[in-house]
């Protein structure tokens, strides 16, 4: 338990620094819109964002995979500055609701500061951000139509519990759509021990088959996995200090894409 709490605190401290602008997490931080478009977001989606919401922290576009509909209730795990929450809110409209949960108070403050600007742009007031851990969601049972998450579950020291929570909060027939990183093969030991690798989601990555087992164990079904190479290629050429430190820890001649792939997982809760 102490080890899990140390991991959470390392992640929380890392993302507190990012929220305060003292550090960046990924190569998308310098040109966030270009990076977002490169991993599947449209210019129309990005236009609804308040300034600062796009922090370049994504590795996919779960809102597109989810095929969101007006009136749905959406929950984003590890919502950060609110990037996917704002995009989802526009898609579900005035009759829907978009919730975000994050364990880092400074990220929540940043996200909440953008709500009024989002409302000015769209006329919508359908967003809420809550403080909490994704292993213990502050959300009622059977209350969510779609759970999304973007490059966050790998940060958790208890991924099975996260998937159990996803299954708990989903309504019968609800859908989970998760973009994350998955291992192709085991990472070198020195990378696994790197705080930089943990904060950048790399050290927490597991094999896709392991994630599928967790999803099944949580009781979800109709599981689909779709591998995407785009964000890893971008990360491989990244000069961000965190990713540079990870790359320098790899064996000579090795690339990040030799070990990691960007993946979309989808699963359904039985009706």
User: Mind giving me the DSSP string for 82-133?
Assistant: SHHHHHHHHHH-TTSEEEEEES-HHHHHHHHHTHHHHHHHH----EEEEE-B
- Decide if 205 contacts 187 (C-beta within 8 A): yes
| pLDDT for res 70 | 98
Three-state DSSP class for 68? coil
Instruction: List Cβ neighbours of 52 (8 Å cut-off, separation of 6 or more).
Output: 81, 110, 113, 114
| pLDDT for res 1 | 45
| pLDDT for res 27 | 46
Residue 94, CA distances (Å) to 5, 136, 143, 205, 227 in order: 38, 28, 17, 36, 33
| pLDDT for res 237 | 52
| pLDDT for res 22 | 52
| pLDDT for res 222 | 97
Print the domain residue range for 213: 2-268
Whichever domain contains 184, its CATH number is: 3.40.50.150
Three-state DSSP class for 266? strand
Instruction: List Cβ neighbours of 228 (8 Å cut-off, separation of 6 or more).
Output: 39, 40, 60, 261, 262, 263, 264
CB atoms within 10 A of CB 50: 20
What's the structural domain count of the chain?
Answer: 1
Instruction: List Cβ neighbours of 176 (8 Å cut-off, separation of 6 or more).
Output: 146, 147, 148, 166, 170, 215, 220, 265, 266, 267, 268, 269
Taking the chain (271 residues) in runs of 10, the rounded mean pLDDT of each run is 68 72 52 74 90 80 93 97 96 98 93 96 97 97 97 90 98 96 76 54 74 97 84 53 64 76 93 91
The alpha-helical segments, DSSP class H, found in the chain are 2-19, 32-38, 43-47, 62-66, 83-92, 105-113, 115-122, 159-169, 189-192, 195-199, 208-217, 230-236, 241-249
Quick one: which of 229, 235, 185 has its CA closest to 207? 185
H or E element in which residue 227 lies: strand 221-228
**What pTM did the predictor assign?**
0.85
| pLDDT for res 202 | 59
Structure tokens, 227: 């591998």
């Amino acid at each position: 338990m102490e080890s899990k709490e140390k991991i959470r605190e390392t992640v929380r401290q890392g993302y507190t620094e990012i929220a305060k602008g003292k550090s960046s997490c990924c190569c998308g931080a310098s040109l966030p819109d270009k990076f977002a478009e490169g991993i599947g977001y449209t210019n129309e989606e990005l236009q609804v964002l308040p300034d600062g919401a796009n922090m370049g922290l994504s590795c996919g576009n779960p809102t597109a995979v989810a095929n969101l509909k007006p009136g749905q209730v959406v929950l984003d795990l590890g919502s950060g500055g609110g990037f996917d929450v704002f995009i989802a809110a526009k898609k579900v409209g005035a009759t829907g609701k978009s919730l975000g949960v994050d364990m880092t108070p400074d990220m929540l403050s940043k996200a909440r500061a953008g709500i009024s600007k989002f409302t000015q742009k769209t006329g919508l007031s359908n967003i809420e951000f809550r403080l909490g851990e994704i292993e213990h969601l502050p959300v009622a049972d059977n209350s969510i139509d779609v759970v999304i998450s973007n490059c966050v579950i790998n940060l958790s020291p208890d991924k099975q519990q996260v998937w159990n929570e996803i299954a708990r909060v989903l309504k019968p027939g609800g859908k989970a759509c998760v973009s994350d990183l998955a291992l192709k093969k085991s990472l070198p030991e020195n990378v696994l021990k790197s705080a930089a690798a943990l904060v950048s989601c790399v050290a927490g990555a597991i094999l896709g088959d392991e994630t599928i087992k967790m999803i099944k164990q949580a009781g979800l079904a109709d599981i689909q996995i779709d591998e995407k190479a785009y964000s890893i290629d971008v990360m491989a050429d990244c000069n961000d200090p965190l990713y540079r430190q990870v790359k320098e820890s790899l064996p000579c001649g090795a690339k990040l894409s030799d070990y990691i792939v960007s993946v979309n997982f989808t699963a359904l809760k039985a009706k």
